[in-house]
């Protein structure tokens, strides 16, 4: 009996991962009501736990869940209709729509998740709201989980979600995939949210709340969905490749003591080579379309690192060329700083330091922690120990995590030959 | 849906326009108004006199209190508005972006609270 329960729970868990976003997206289209959609989707999963144990797991769990959730939604809309003839969903829910939903669920076509992604990431919503809505409606994270992932109190996150949904309704944010003339910029907005999610998760090191690390998984899965739904958008595949190529190195980034391990010193046998292969294949397919963009270029840089058999074999000349291209596409000071690191690896630290100093004197990266950290590493490699020490101290003052502080302290000890003061 | 598009600009800069620049601006607004009327989305619209002509009214304890000038001193002031009736926020944004004042000022897009 316990085995049956476990099997049902596993089936429902799998269906939740695979179907939640699609069901919510469909119900929003059908009812126009975001809260109702979430509630009815939740109901359907609760009912699945109960019914699948008794009747067995249906042949097509997605269709079963969609139908159950939709029936529940229609039921509630009709009841509300009786209570108030002014209820605005009345006109939207029609019988012809019912048949349509059934077909969609059975055939697996007419995926509404793309519409939901574009609506969640509408630029009239704050970036914070876009991120929270995406995690709630598409990935199915609870408000409590999202709050924990972003280190804010749950009531704050709950309020953020309520406000975002109210704005969509009250300001008339359309529920649709944007028309062609808006598509490029709106796609950029969706990609930016997914990349932010990934980076939030990726920056969470071992020991951090597990839910923060799960953001990486959710970001990869959502980007996989986006890439599948937008096969003509090579930047979606490029972003997926970028995430996979970084994610593959995740375990090797931190040592047993929880300290950061620089790329050059990582144990490459701990990299996930299947994921690297998948990322590389995705990138190649995207590049074949001949419409290069910043995510594809960044993925190509990550691929250079991920496919080098050892640190010494890294093709830094190629990486510099890719950064040149990235700087054309995205002329930002952060890209310029990364380009300087690549130049230092390809042509020696002095060449890189010249670029870093130029950036420093421009003042554009004032307060950016990786500026003094990069400068310090270059000065260390040039044996300019006193200057390196000063730069490490400047970097320590700006460090964001304990792991980073430990790394910088270790380097500071190396160049000064004494222990760093513990902050 | 109906939206109020409030044109917020630096009125001192507008006051400093030469007569030629001023009439060029008015011509641009005329063109915008015609275009939107033809499209059938424009319900109303007007230019406002500067805040030096504004009066602020409050009633406290039954007493009408007046003050010269605007409610708040800010760098940008509402210098005019359009009331539009269009499909959704995306269309309202597109219309707002075509208002000449958007080139130097800010357009605040506010949905009308339909009763």
Do the chains contact at A182 and B90, CB–CB below 8 Å?
yes
> CB burial class (10 A; 0-12, 13-18, 19+) of residue A154?
middle
Place of tokens 């409610």: B71
Give the integer Cα–Cα distance in Å for A332 and A112: 35
Rounded Cα gap, residues B39 and A170, in angstroms: 24
Place of tokens 């995590």: A401
pLDDT value of position A208 = 65
Q: Model confidence over A181-236: pLDDT tens digits?
A: 999 999 999 999 999 999 988 877 555 667 888 899 999 999 999 999 999 999 99
Q: How far apart are CA A195 and CA A216, in angstroms?
A: 9
Task: Give phi and psi for B81, each to the nearest 5.
Answer: -155, 160
Contacts of B88 in chain A (CB under 8 A): 172-174
Between A123 and A258, the more confident residue is A123
Indicate yes or no: CB of B89 within 8 angstroms of CB of A171: yes
Instruction: Quote the percentage of chain A above a pLDDT of 70.
Output: 91
Q: Tell me which of A104 and A75 has the higher pLDDT.
A: A75
Contact call for B111 and A170, based on CB within 8 A: yes
Residue A172 pLDDT exceeds 70: yes
Q: What is the pLDDT of residues A321-355, one digit of tens each?
A: 999 999 999 999 999 999 999 999 999 999 999 99
Average pLDDT over residues A311-318: 95
Mutate which of A86, A172, A176, A182 to disrupt the B interface (most B C-beta within 10 Å)?
Answer: A172
Mean of the pLDDT values across residues A390-409? Answer: 90
Q: In this model, does residue A180 exceed pLDDT 60?
A: yes
Q: Minimal Cα–Cα distance from A223 to chain B, Å?
A: 24
Rounded CA-CA distance A79/A90 in Å is 11
Question: Which residue of B lies nearest to A173 if distances are taken between CA atoms?
Answer: B89
Helix, strand, coil percent content, chain A, rounded in steps of 5:
75, 0, 25
Which pTM does this prediction carry?
0.87
- Residue A396 contacts residue A423 (beta carbons within 8 Å): yes
Q: How far is B87 from chain A (nearest CA, A)?
A: 8
Tell me how close the Cα of B103 comes to any Cα of chain A, in angstroms.
19
Strand partners, A353: none
Residue of B2, B5, B88, B92 to mutate for A, most A C-beta atoms under 10 A: B88
Residues of A in contact with B3 (CB under 8 A): 172
Give the C-alpha separation, B51 to B77, whole Å.
8
pLDDT at A83: 78
> Which regions in chain B score pLDDT beneath 70?
none
Question: Which residue in chain B has the smallest CA separation from A125?
Answer: B89
- Lowest average pLDDT, out of A103-112, A181-190, A356-365, goes to A103-112
Which residue did the predictor score with more confidence, A107 or A127? A127
Contacts of B89 in chain A (CB under 8 A): 122, 124, 171-174
User: pLDDT band for position A267 (50/70/90)?
Assistant: very high
For residue A416, pLDDT beyond 50: yes
Mean local confidence (pLDDT), A20-40: 95
Q: List, as ranges, residues 32-91 from B with C-beta within 8 Å of A.
A: 87-90
Dihedral sign, CA of B75, B79, B84, B86? negative
Chain A residues in contact with B4 (beta carbon < 8 A): none
Residue of B3, B89, B111 with shortest CB distance to A174:
B89
A259 contacts A287 by C-beta, under 8 angstroms: no
Enumerate chain A positions whose Cβ falls within 8 A of a Cβ in B: 122, 124, 170-174, 178, 182
**pLDDT at position A104 over 70:** no
Could you tell me if B111 lies within 8 Å of chain A, comparing CB atoms? yes
Looking at residue A157, its pLDDT comes to 97
Per-chain mean pLDDT for chain A = 90
In a mutational test of the B interface, the residue from A171, A186, A189 whose CB has the highest number of chain B CBs within 10 Å is A171
3-state secondary structure of B47: strand
Residues of B in contact with A174 (CB under 8 A): 87-90
Among the ranges given (A265-269, A404-408, B94-98), the one the predictor scored with the smallest mean pLDDT: A404-408
Residues of B in contact with A171 (CB under 8 A): 89, 109, 111
């Amino acid at each position: 009996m316990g085995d049956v329960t476990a099997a049902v729970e596993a089936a429902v868990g799998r269906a939740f991962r695979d179907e939640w976003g699609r069901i919510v997206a469909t119900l929003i289209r059908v009812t126009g009501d975001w809260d109702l959609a979430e509630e009815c989707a939740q109901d359907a999963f609760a009912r699945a736990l109960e019914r699948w144990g008794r009747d067995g797991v249906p042949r097509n769990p997605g269709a079963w869940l969609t139908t159950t959730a939709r029936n529940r939604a229609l039921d509630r809309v009709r009841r509300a209709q009786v209570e108030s003839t002014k209820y605005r969903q009345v006109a939207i829910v029609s019988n012809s729509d019912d048949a349509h939903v059934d077909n969609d669920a059975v055939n697996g076509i007419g995926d509404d998740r793309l519409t939901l992604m574009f609506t969640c990431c509408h630029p009239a919503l704050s970036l914070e709201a876009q991120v929270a809505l995406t995690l709630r409606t598409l990935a199915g994270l609870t408000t409590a989980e999202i709050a924990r992932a972003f280190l804010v109190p749950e009531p704050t996150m709950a309020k953020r979600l309520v406000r975002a949904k109210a704005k969509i309704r009250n300001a008339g944010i359309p529920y649709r995939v944007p028309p062609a003339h808006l598509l490029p910029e709106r796609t950029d907005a969706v990609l930016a949210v997914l990349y932010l999610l990934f980076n939030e998760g990726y920056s969470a090191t071992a020991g951090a709340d597990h839910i923060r690390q799960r953001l990486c998984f959710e970001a990869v899965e959502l980007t996989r969905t986006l890439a599948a739904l937008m096969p003509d958008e090579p930047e979606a595949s490029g972003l997926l490749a970028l995430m996979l190529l970084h994610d593959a190195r995740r375990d090797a980034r931190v040592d047993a003591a929880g300290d950061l391990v620089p790329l050059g010193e990582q144990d490459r046998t701990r990299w996930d080579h299947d994921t690297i292969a998948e990322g590389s294949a995705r990138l190649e397919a995207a590049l074949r379309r001949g419409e290069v963009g910043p995510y594809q270029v960044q993925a190509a840089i990550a691929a250079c690192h991920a496919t080098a058999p050892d640190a010494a074999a890294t093709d830094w000349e190629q990486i510099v060329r890719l950064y040149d291209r990235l700087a054309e596409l995205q002329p930002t000071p952060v890209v310029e700083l990364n380009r300087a690191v690549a130049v230092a690896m390809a042509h020696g630290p002095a060449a890189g330091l010249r670029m870093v100093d130029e950036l420093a004197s421009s003042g554009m990266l004032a307060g950016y922690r990786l500026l003094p950290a990069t400068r310090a590493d270059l000065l260390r490699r040039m044996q300019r120990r006193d200057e390196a020490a000063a730069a490490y101290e400047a970097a320590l003052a700006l460090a964001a995590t304990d792991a980073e502080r430990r790394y910088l302290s270790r380097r500071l000890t190396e160049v000064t030959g004494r222990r760093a003061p513990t902050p | 849906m109906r939206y109020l598009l409030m044109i917020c600009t630096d009125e001192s800069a507008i006051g400093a326009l030469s007569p030629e620049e001023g009439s060029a601006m008015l011509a641009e607004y005329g063109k915008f108004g015609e275009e939107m009327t033809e499209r059938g989305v424009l319900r109303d619209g007007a230019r406002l006199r500067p805040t030096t002509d504004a009066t602020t009214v409050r009633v406290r304890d039954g007493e009408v209190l007046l003050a010269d000038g605007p409610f708040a001193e800010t760098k940008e002031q509402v210098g005019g508005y359009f009331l539009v009736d269009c499909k959704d926020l995306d269309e309202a944004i597109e219309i707002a972006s075509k208002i000449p004042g958007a080139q130097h000022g800010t357009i605040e897009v506010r949905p009308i609270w339909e009763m």
